[in-house]
Structure 1
Amino acid sequence: MSDLMKVSSNPHIRSKVTTSNIMLAVVIALLPAAGFGIFNFGLDALILIVITVATCVLTEYLYEKAMHKKITIGDFSCVVTGLLLALNLPSTAPWWIGVVGGIFAILVVKMLFGGLGQNFMNPALGARCFLLISYTSIMCNFDCDAYTGPTPLASLKAGESVNILDMVVGRTAGVIGETSMIAIVIGACFLILLGVIDLKIPGTYIITFVIFIVLFGGHGLDPAFVSAHLAGGGLMLGAFFMATDYVTSPVTKKGRYLYGVILGILTGIFRIFGPSAEGVSYAIILGNLLVPLIEKITMPKAFGKGGERA
């Protein structure tokens, strides 16, 4: 009997990686973009980031306390939501925008659907879209002490020339966390090296978007036009930090590639043919809604039920 193998309940393979480990890594990866945003826009950006993150943490704590649920703020998911939402806000937004957005993200998009793992869309992007619809003038006001006038993407859409180097470095108007392509890529490389994310979704997303604007952007294979679209707006922030959200992205390999293609096409449609110069937030939100269908058509069949042999 001593030679018999012990039998335990599943899962039989366990990992030391936890939700809190992953979320903490995402927070660290977002620090370069957040730090540059504070450097670029000043104290207003720092205040908005702190208020938004604090609102998300407090909202989750109070809801779980009131509903007599397990307190989960220690998994850092609410911190990630608050930080991502803050980085998607203009530094000129009043402090209460962070409060309204934080409450909507955590309470409406996340907790009312069951908490982490149950939300059907990215909470930060859901809140940003809600704020864009409800407070359009505030969310589209990027005039501050450092910069005035339209964002580079708005200028590009109007047919004006833009400084691509400034867009790559981040010396431009925009929301707090999207201006510096360098800072975003540094954080993305950190997550890739840790194995938190891979390039299936962001790589497919970016390549599809480039192909779309080359075909339909009206400038052909113009390096300056393509580079401006890659460096401008929230494409990089969305591709690496929000489209890769574990909860709202497909789990299947083919599904991730298909998801990236859909996001690239939607972003291209919104930017080229839409009235706004941006389109990443709405593209990812619509992509989130399509994830159940994507997984349904890309889920491999079990062997013996029509699936192929390995």
Structure 2
Amino acid sequence: MSDMYNVSSSSHIRSQDTSAKIMLYVAIALLPASLFGIWNFGLQALILILVCVATCVASEWIFEKLIHKKSTINDFSAVVTGLLLALNLPHTLPIWQAVLGSVFAIVIVKMLFGGLGQNFMNPALGGRCFLLVSFAGTMTSFTYDGVTGATPLALLKNGESVDTMKMLLGTTAGTIGETSVIAILIGAIFLILMGVIDLTIPASYILSFGVFVLLFGGHGFDVTYLTAHLCGGGLMLGAFFMATDYVTSPITPMGKVVFGIVLGILTGLFRLFGANAEGVSFAIILGNLLVPIIEKFTIPRAFGQKKEVK
């Protein structure tokens, strides 16, 4: 009995990076988009961000207290969930709806499935889609400089012209964290330099989406039209910060490429042929559900193993 080995559960990879450290890096990377959103939309955006983060952390702490489980709020995953959810909301959303979406994201999507590492979809996007389905009116109402109007993607879908420079800088209507492509890319570069993410999923996602728009957008090789679609909506935020989520994305090399292509095609279908001008959130959630199938067919064969002939 004394010679028996104690084998811990997976994973068995040794690394200096912890979940808390990785989540802290993600939170830091989201700061440029968050600060720009606060500057762009004002005090309401700051309040919404603080409410979402506080509610997510409190929901996780209370849930674990109720089921007598060790608290995991120190891993910063609840902070990242709250921050991502807030950045995907219009700054005019009522506070109580933001609280409801935050509770749904943590309790329903994350904690009921076992907590960090067990959720089958991105909690922040789960919360956003819940709010979008439940409160479509407030979730699709955007105000900029005191004027309520359509987002650039909605204008584009209606055949109207848009200012791509404003979309690149972020001085336009949209959710708190999706408008400034520059701010998002600054955070994405930070994550890449820190080794938190690589370009496989974002690149395959953005490239496949771009090809889809060129083929089926009805504008031919129109660079302005393509640029507007790439800069508009939550594509960049979703590609770099939510599609790359460790828990809900594939781990196999080929699986990451397939996953990105699936997201690009789904986003293109939703944007070009769906009723809504946006489609990133639903595309990533559907992609999350397909991850087990993608990994099943993209697992590399062991060296020396032959493919079975039926």
TM-score of the alignment, normalized to the shorter chain, above 0.5: yes
- Matched ranges for 1:265-280 at <5 A: 265-280=265-280
State the identity as a percent: 66
CA–CA distance in structure 2, aligned partners of residues 230 and 12 of structure 1: 39
Which residue identity does 2:53 align to in structure 1?
V
1:42 aligns with 2:42: yes
Match of 1:164 in 2: 164
Match of 1:247 in 2: 247
CA–CA distance in structure 2, aligned partners of residues 251 and 29 of structure 1: 22
CA shift, 1:147, in A, is 4.1
Number of residues of Structure 1 aligned to a counterpart in Structure 2? 302
Match of 1:70 in 2: 70
Task: Note if contact 1:41-1:146 (Cα within 8 Å) is conserved in structure 2.
Answer: no
Match of 1:105 in 2: 105
Task: Note if contact 2:141-2:149 (Cα within 8 Å) is conserved in structure 1.
Answer: no
Match of 1:60 in 2: 60
Q: Any idea what SS the aligned residue of 1:143 has? A: strand
The TM-score normalised by the length of structure 2 is 0.94
CA shift, 1:303, in A, is 4.0
Match of 1:306 in 2: 306
- Matched ranges for 1:68-147 at <5 A: 68-147=68-147
Structure 1 residues 167 and 117, CA, compared in 2 at 3 Å: closer, same or farther? same
Which residue identity does 1:22 align to in structure 2?
I
- Matched ranges for 1:135-214 at <5 A: 135-214=135-214
Deviations 1:157-211 (A, max 9, x none): 1111101100000010000000000000000000001110000000000000000
CA–CA distance in structure 2, aligned partners of residues 12 and 18 of structure 1: 13
Which residue identity does 1:70 align to in structure 2?
K
Which residue identity does 1:177 align to in structure 2?
G
Q: Any idea what SS the aligned residue of 1:206 has? A: helix
Gaps of 5+ in 2: none
Task: Note if contact 2:144-2:172 (Cα within 8 Å) is conserved in structure 1.
Answer: no
Deviations 1:80-101 (A, max 9, x none): 0000000000000011111001
Structure 1 residues 214 and 151, CA, compared in 2 at 3 Å: closer, same or farther? same
CA–CA distance in structure 1, aligned partners of residues 13 and 109 of structure 2: 32
Q: Any idea what SS the aligned residue of 1:196 has? A: coil
Task: Note if contact 2:150-2:173 (Cα within 8 Å) is conserved in structure 1.
Answer: yes
Task: Note if contact 1:300-1:307 (Cα within 8 Å) is conserved in structure 2.
Answer: no
The TM-score normalised by the length of structure 1 is 0.94
The two structures, once aligned, show a CA RMSD in angstroms of 1.6
Which residue identity does 2:109 align to in structure 1?
V
Which residue identity does 1:81 align to in structure 2?
T
Which residue identity does 1:61 align to in structure 2?
W
CA–CA distance in structure 1, aligned partners of residues 58 and 24 of structure 2: 18
Match of 2:288 in 1: 288
